Structure 1
């Protein structure tokens, strides 16, 4: 394990694993330690996921709940306040992706080049997740895989209740089918990743996001 991973609660957690004892309390202590050390919540969850990846299973929903609650109780308020990123998953909100697209299209115009020649969009759609902390656990699993896969300046954003989008360079070596399989295996739910072409204009790209968001929203029953 990395040397900066250790903290006193880590020993308690490892002892509980060896003894096959309850993990919720030791995980809560680890969350408090990470919060007090100034570690962000997504990064703290990375520690939890790293541990359970060694155990080859997802953390139980009650462990995820205790971890999040303990972190929130101990973290400085500033650690939990953000307008553009979900503090639980570290995934950007749709509004931030709109801003990033604006930056990309303005830069392309300044360099007299077409955005579709340099950038693309990957959509990540998954089945409706269970409610409660089981759904949260699945969502965190998906987020962790995406953060690990896209760690070179790509923008990962939520576009709907069961859809994400990733703004990437065309040079990415990610294969949608392979990523779909990895996400499905890790989260325990069916996930489909597709590559779509960006329009040539910013208004067209923003409209494309609107269509993606609308197609992911449940239909309103007719009265």
Structure 2
């Protein structure tokens, strides 16, 4: 008999368990090696690429467990090491190429992005929708702001990257603009992808010039004080249309690409 904690296993059960653990570890190591090789092809040095979150992700995937905590760990570690969100997401796409998959699932990306932002954009709390957001979903998210005391000086920004390759380019452009310019985002920063090419977010309207200098395809409009007007604005920006609901504070008109 073999002892496992407070339980006793028969020799056969203990051997079966050992084989399962061995296979699990071997599969995780093989996946990690394939990921490492793909990362090296894209310029990562092995000593820079590996962090504990790499092991956490591969073990979760091989073990069939929820991987979102592992992706959050990886996002924090990439941010702490000074890597941008573009590099972090590109590396995860490399993993899914090795898995012959179309790309990482939205919940995994959300976990990684929010954890990365929690380090690089602190004290801002980024709230990213996992999947594509409808106009109704956007209205519901922004309605939460109006139920509380709505802070002044906010604007809605829509970033669009036509023919985006991975579907996350617009988001990475906006987040990296935030790392270069302090106070781009409000303390609570809801973000939502309305299509593979477009992301809509809440920013500070005094950061409009900095956002435009960093991103080519962008529309920005001051957030109306009235929820009904805000809902219409958000829906139009989410669908890629213009706005007639006021412009930037200071007399400017809504920016266009």
TM-score norm. by structure 2 comes to 0.45
* Greater Rg over alpha carbons, structure: 2
1:176 to 190, 204, 208: 208
Please state whether the residue corresponding to 1:154 is helix, strand or coil. Answer: strand
Q: Unpaired runs of 5+ in structure 1? A: 1-11, 74-79, 109-114, 185-189, 217-223
Rounded Cα–Cα distance in structure 2 between residues aligned with 1:60 and 1:46: 12
Which structure would you say has the larger RCO, counting Cα contacts within 8 Å and 6 or more residues apart?
1
Match of 1:22 in 2: 41
Structure 1 stretches of 4+ with a deviation exceeding 4 A read: 23-30, 34-38, 45-54, 57-61, 68-71, 85-90, 146-149
Q: Does 1:206 align with 2:231?
A: yes
The root-mean-square deviation of aligned C-alpha atoms, in Å, is 5.2
Partners of 1:157 and 1:165 within 8 A in 2: yes
Q: In structure 1, what is the equivalent of residue 95 of structure 2?
A: 67
Match of 1:141 in 2: 172
TM-superposed deviation, 1:128:
0.3
For the 8 Å contact 2:74–2:112, the answer to whether it is kept is no
Q: Matches of 2:72 and 2:160 in 1, distance apart?
A: 21
Q: Corresponding residue for 2:202?
A: 167
Secondary structure of residue in 2 paired with 1:164: strand
Q: Which runs of 5+ in 2 are unaligned?
A: 1-32, 61-66, 115-127, 242-257
Q: Which residue of 1 aligns with 2:117?
A: none
Separation in 2, partners of 1:103, 1:136: 27
TM-score by length of 1: 0.51
What is the aligned residue count? 176
